[in-house]
Amino acid sequence: MEPVASMQVSVTVNGDVYGREVEARRLLVHFIRDDLGLTGTHIGCDTGNCGACTVILDGVAVKSCMLLAVQADGASIETVESLATGDGELHPLQQAFSAHHALQCGYCTPGMLMSAKHLLDHNAEPTENEIRRAIQGNICRCTGYVNIVEAIAAAAKGEVSA
């Protein structure tokens, strides 16, 4: 029997259901970026170390370069594009990141935000160490993490205005 080269998948992303025929070897991150056009999710390595591609899949923060798209069949995924409301109001984490200058080039930011959201979804009052552990899988090369940690702490406390 010939090996299966492609599969039909159905994935809910940010509330929209997408049905697509995908190559069996296609990474989830390439599916999100190239097939669905949601380019907010980024790629920064080949090895699952950098976390730029972090999304929330069925409630769990995952690196979307470490999954095949076919493995996400039937799953519900949140990407950075889901954070702000439809009328453009930024999520408290997004507001806090801006207010605390927690981003410079902005390349790690989407993945960082999704890891932070996952943390706050499960732990409303994290300690500094818990925040650092939660973003341990996300590399930032601009900020030294100082302001990112501050921003997440501020968002947890509801202190988001600049």
Partner 1 sequence: MTTTAPEKVEAPEKGFAGESIPRKEDKRLVQGQGVFVDDVRRHEVGYVHFVRSPYAHAAIANIDVSEALALDGVYGALIGEEVAALTDPFFQLSVPPGSEIKDYALAVGKVRHLGDPVAAVAARTRELARDAAELVEVEYEALPVVVDPEHALDPDAAILHDEAGSNVVWSGEFDWGDFDAALEEADHVVRIERLHFDRFSSTPLEMSGAMVEYDRGTGQWTIHANNQFPGFAIIMMGPALRTGMDKLRFVSQDIGGGFGNKICTHPQLVALCLLARKLNRPVQWTEWRTDQHTANSHGNERVFLDIEVPVKSDGTMLGFRCKAIDDCGAYSRYEPLGCIIWAQVTPGMYRWRNVHIDFTQVCTNKSPCGPNRGYSRMQHLWFTERVIDIVAHELELEPVEVRKLNYIKSEEMPYETPNGCVYDSGDYARCLDIALELVGYSSLEEKRRNAESRGKLLGVGIGSTLDSGTNNFGQSQLLNPDLQFSGNNEVASVKLDIFGEVVVTLGTTPQGQSHETVASQIVADILGVTPDDVHVRAGHDSYWNTHAGFSGTYASQFAVTGLGAVKGATELLADQIRRLAAVILGADGPDEIELGGGFARRRDNPEAALPFLACGAIVNANNAGLPEELDDVTLNCRYVYKPPFQVPDKERKFGNLTLTYAMQIHVCVLEVDPETGVYEIVDYSAVDDCGNRIHPQIVEGQVHGAVAHGLGAAVFETFTYDEDGTLLTSNFYDYHVPHALDMPPLRTDAIESPSPFTSLGTKGMGEGGGAGIHAVCAAIQDALRSAGNAIVTDSHNPYHRVWELLRNPEASRALVRVEAQ
Residues of the shown chain interacting with partner 1 in the complex, contacts defined by CB under 8 A = 23, 25-26, 30, 33-34, 37-47, 49-50, 52, 79-81, 83-84, 90, 94, 97-99, 101, 103-110, 113, 131-133, 135-149, 162
Q: Which residue has the tokens 């999520």?
A: 91
Please, what is the minimum distance in Å from the beta carbon of residue 126 to partner 1?
Answer: 12
Looking at the Cβ atoms of 10 and 39, the one nearer to partner 1 is 39
Looking at the Cβ atoms of 74 and 108, the one nearer to partner 1 is 108
Beta-carbon-side half-sphere exposure of residue 140 (alpha carbons within 13 Å): 23
Please, what is the angle between helix 109-122 and helix 146-156, to 10°?
40
SS3 28: helix
SS3 60: strand
Please, what is the minimum distance in Å from the beta carbon of residue 144 to partner 1?
Answer: 3
Please, what is the minimum distance in Å from the beta carbon of residue 9 to partner 1?
Answer: 17
Looking at the Cβ atoms of 75 and 140, the one nearer to partner 1 is 140
How many CB atoms are closer than 10 A to CB 45? 13
